[in-house]
Structure 1
Amino acid sequence: MYYEDTGEGASVLVFSHGLLMDHTMFAPQAEAFKHRYRCISWDERGHGRTANSETCEPFSYYDSADDLAALLDYLGIQRAILVGMSQGGYLSLRAAIKHSMIVQAMVLIDTQAGPEDPAKMPGYAVMINDWVTHGLSDQTAAILEHIILGDGWGGAAAWREKWAAWQSHNLLQCFHTLGSRDDIRDMLGTINVPVLVIHGDVDVAIEPERARAMTDAMPNACMERIVGGGHASNLTHPDRVNPLIEAFVSQLSRPLHHMG
């Protein structure tokens, strides 16, 4: 499992990326915070430098939560602030449920607690099957860019290049894990740690209303919208996301409602 461990400080931030992304999507946060906090970013199963070139065994986001817990144990970290975007939020929520002792707080970015919208899954399946069969077409790349990065973001070309290098076995298994995950909405009330939910107001992958419902179901959570932000708002709008994370982390010793 590939990870990067930079910075130092009493607070530890663990960054977990979204589907089809890797640890570098949190570069704007790791760079900004490494002078005040210890920042750990990692590549999840089937992704980035953790991906196996030969196979991708079946896994769930509970397995990914176990991976995160094992990484913290390996690094000798007892508690951390989990920062997860989309898929990274899915595994972070499950870590809070299954490994509550290691979770000091969470920042959930453009994510949700329910399953995928069933109306979207057939279209996703067609896109993935075409990708597996024919390689990444310009059309599929454009759709991915629109869904994940929004339209016209300057750094999109580098991600298109990464998507083109994906191997079929990793792609199929990671998509299956996404679509088959369980619904944990009825467990949110058991998550008592402070939670900051950040969501782009033009996220077409996960509607903001889903994030609002997730926020309302957790007893110590608040939500902030990123105006003009899409699905990967931390990557495309770090100038708006980073101050929210900084304020949240710096005020963890105070009641959450004191945040602006």
Structure 2
Amino acid sequence: MPYADVNGARLYFEDSGGEGPVVVFSHGNLMDRDMWVHQTGVLAGDFRVVVWDERLHGRTEDDGKPYTYWDSAADLTGLLDHLGVQQAALVGHSQGGFLSMRAALLAPERVKALVLIDTTSVAWPPEALAQMRGVSEGFRGAGPEAVAPVLLGMLLGQPAIHDQWLAKWRAQPRERLADAVQVLTGADDITGRLGEITVPALVVHGDADQPIPYPLGQKLAGEIPGAQELVTVTGAGHTPNLTHPDQVNPALAGFLRRYA
């Protein structure tokens, strides 16, 4: 299996190869590389597509210790080093967007373009933090069954695929799931630094997103200097690339063909 030894972790990744521009996809919290299944198949012919599992997620092997999204950004640039890639377009969903924006701040010369899907630059409000702590405690104390009915609805909102992701949660240790959510609560506010992100950016947001409401997507698109467009995914919740690829993929492919 392909692993990259980066910053004390063994990051699992999949690489389509090829000579096209490199695009790295970073998944959301409690998800993994498979959340990009509807994008990788479409784009792999024109781009070198890389997907990976972040710490505490999927097949990546790590020490289980707390980390920040700045650490995740360093993991991403370390993965680029492992791949021998000097510059890539970054596509991030939710926490994948958190780390992609931070990578653009830490190493702007490595980032050619950004696609930010249902993500934000702000810190969580108190009510969201309280909800996340409850989810973390639910995973730790009783496992996925305790939180799945509500959480899957919030993250996906498409019952036909709920069982697939519940099965993935069941395959992970409870503590790992709980710790992954705990990391999410530590996201810091980087709004004041968005002016430093000058690469072309595409913001995509579901208008029915509950964890990161649509107005935050509008705010993000208005504050990144290089933002080319805000794509509103009608009727989509928090994971439009997975649930509404017919609306996401044309905008994503068009943007990457112009800027990646």
TM-score, length-normalised on structure 1? Answer: 0.92
Match of 1:256 in 2: none
Amino acid at match of 2:80: L
List runs of 5+ in structure 2 lacking aligned partners.
1-10
Alignment of 1:1-260 (within 5 A): 1-52=11-62, 55-137=63-145, 140-152=147-159, 154-221=160-227, 222-252=229-259
- Map Cα deviations across residues 12-54 of structure 1 (whole Å, 9 max, x no partner): 11000000000010111111100111000000000000044xx
For residue 228 of structure 1, report the CA deviation from its aligned partner. 1.0
User: Per-residue CA shift, 1:105-127, capped at 9, x if unaligned?
Assistant: 00000100011232122122223
Distance in 2 (alpha carbons) for counterparts of 1:5 and 1:203: 30
Query: Could you report, residue by residue, the CA deviation over 1:129-187 in whole angstroms, capped at 9, with x for unpaired residues?
Result: 122112222x51111211110143x2221101111223233223322221112110000
| Conservation of the 8 A alpha-carbon contact between 2:144 and 2:174 | no
Greater Cα offset, 98-107 or 155-164: 155-164
User: In structure 2, how many angstroms separate the alpha carbons of the residues matched to 1:148 and 1:125?
Assistant: 16
Matching residue's letter, 1:252: Y
How far apart in 1 are the matches of 2:136 and 2:183?
13
Q: Please tell me whether the aligned partners of residues 56 and 169 of structure 1 are also in contact (alpha carbons under 8 angstroms).
A: no
Quick one: distance in 2 between partners of 1:35 and 1:167? 36
After superposition, the C-alpha distances for 1:86-114 in whole angstroms (9 at most, x for unaligned) are 01000000000001111000000010001
Bigger Cα displacement from structure 2, 164-173 vs 20-29: 164-173
Q: Distance in 1 between matches of 2:128 and 2:73?
A: 25
- CA separation of 1:104/1:195 partners in 2, compared to 1, >3 Å: closer, same or farther? same
8 Å contact kept, 1:7–1:35: no
TM-score with structure 2 length normalisation?
0.92
| Count of aligned residue pairs for this structure pair | 249
Cα distance change of structure 1 residues 117 and 9 upon mapping to structure 2, 3 Å threshold: farther
Partner amino acid, structure 2, of 1:62: W
What CA deviation, in whole Å up to 9, does each residue of 1:213-249 have, x standing for no partner?
1111111102110011110110111111110111111
CA distance in 2, matches of 1:77, 1:12: 8
Query: Post-superposition shift, 1:67?
Result: 0.7
Contact 2:204 2:232 in 1 (8 A): yes
Q: 1:11 to 1:206 in 2, by over 3 A?
A: same
Q: Which amino acid aligns with 1:205?
A: P
Q: Is the 8 A contact 2:132 2:182 kept in 1?
A: no
Taking the aligned partners of 2:26 and 2:211, their CA distance within structure 1 comes to: 18
Structure 1 runs (4+) deviating above 4 angstroms are: none
